[in-house]
Amino acid sequence: MIPNPKRLFKYIRSDKKARSINYFNISEILKNYDFNFSDQISTPKSGFRNENFIVETSKGRKIVKKYRDNIDLSAIIHEHSILEYLENTDFPSTRIQCSKMGETLTEIGNKRYALFKYIEGGYHIFDYLLSFRQTYKHIYLAGQTLAHLHKKLFAFQPKGFNKEGFNPKTGERFKDIDYFKKRLMCCINDTDSLDHHQNHRKVSLLAENTSQIQTSLSMANHILLNEKLPLQTIHVDYGPSNLLYRIAEQPVVLDFELSRFDWRIIDIINGLEGFCKNRMRYSINKMKAFINGYLKQNGLTKRELKVISNAWEFIKLRRCINCWHSYSKHNSTKALNDAYYHFKTSKWMCLNHKKIIT
């Protein structure tokens, strides 16, 4: 396989981040573990979005992960519980390391860290320029792997919880439809105070369609709740960055930081979004490959197949509101572009789902 030149450039750029490593913090973290630490530290090839570092130890390479400040402790506990369960059931996922005291989380000041085993010889789908046949084979395998993950996690109840999903005890969402309606109103009020001369067209389009966003989201939410879709622990961030392929071995699923108790169809839609998009356009044939891979290992109920377009719209409009809210608070052009994109593509599945689900 031929390396992807664009990714090679990003790898070179990411290596420069290693110069800003806090060696003291890493030394303090590794004191809790039963191995020695060398000064050799580097940045993972895929670690552009997170503050993760590769460290050389007397027991092999390890990954030090620094959690973002906005990740709740309960969500971290939830992630670690899932990873320990998957290791015990031999599912190929990230392997978390326990300290001398049997703990998986280290806190230094107000920052939280965890240590993971480094996975040798893996690659992401975007690391290479793949042929047509290779691309579809990888996407089919991604669908199979997600189905395998869902079967493993079915009926498993992790410790902790993530407030972005359902409450396992009550069966209700932590953040219901009223939460997003209020956030949408905040978007309108807060955006009015910004100087968005350069972004006038996109801001105006979102503002003009506020009523449609609210109505469509409410309707999609109502349909999905009435269908009583299967609930279980899901990955949430399943996509090309979090699936590590290996030659002649099963792919490894990475990063369960956002995992939660929710409709499993959300993972499927996120997988379709991540693996089947060419720049800003979706590939129906790639989506078919992903769905067929999933169905090979795990079935979907008739109810799930029936409402896949509603679930797509539900996810897209929630993301639209969240991104718009981020723009209104931080004046981030990227967040506005994302909000605009999610709104414009919210009806895509409604128009195309019959071409995918046959």
Number of domains in the chain: 2
Residues 246 and 279 reside in one and the same domain: yes
Last residue of a domain, one of 62, 83, 117: 117
Residues 188 and 234 reside in one and the same domain: yes
Residues 306 and 251 reside in one and the same domain: yes
Residues 166 and 307 reside in one and the same domain: yes
Residues 105 and 211 reside in one and the same domain: no
pLDDT for the residue 13 = 62
pLDDT for the residue 19 = 46
Residues 65 and 206 reside in one and the same domain: no
pLDDT for the residue 82 = 98
Last residue of a domain, one of 87, 117, 147: 117
Residues 276 and 176 reside in one and the same domain: yes
Residues 240 and 257 reside in one and the same domain: yes
Residues 139 and 108 reside in one and the same domain: no
Which range of residues forms the domain containing residue 49?
A: 2-117
CATH number for position 58: 3.30.200.20
pLDDT for the residue 14 = 59
Secondary structure of the chain in HEC code, one letter for each residue: CEECHHHHHHHHHHHHHHHHCCHHHHHHHHCCCCCCEEEEEECCCCCCCCEEEEEEECCEEEEEEECCCCCCHHHHHHHHHHHHHHHHCCCCECCECCCCCCCCCEEECCEEEEEEECCCCCECHHHEECCHHHHHHHHHHHHHHHHHHHHHHCCCCCCCCCCCCECCCCCCECCCHHHHHHHHHHHHHHHCCCCCCCCHHHHHHHHHCHHHHHHHHHHHHHHHHHHCCCEEEECCCCCHHHEEEECCEEEEECCCCCCEEEECHHHHHHHHHHHCEECCEECHHHHHHHHHHHHHHCCCCHHHHHCHHHHHHHHHHHHHHHHHHHHHHHCCHHHHHHHHHHHHCCCHHHHHHHHHCC
pLDDT for the residue 249 = 93
CATH number for position 203: 3.90.1200.10
Residues 253 and 323 reside in one and the same domain: yes
Residues 38 and 100 reside in one and the same domain: yes
Instruction: Tell me the chain's radius of gyration from C-alpha atoms.
Output: 21
Task: Kindly list the averaged pLDDT for each block of 10 residues, start to end, along the chain of length 358.
Answer: 79 56 80 84 67 89 93 97 98 97 94 95 93 97 98 97 96 97 94 78 94 98 97 97 94 97 98 90 96 95 95 98 95 94 96 89
Residues 132 and 105 reside in one and the same domain: no
Last residue of a domain, one of 57, 88, 117: 117
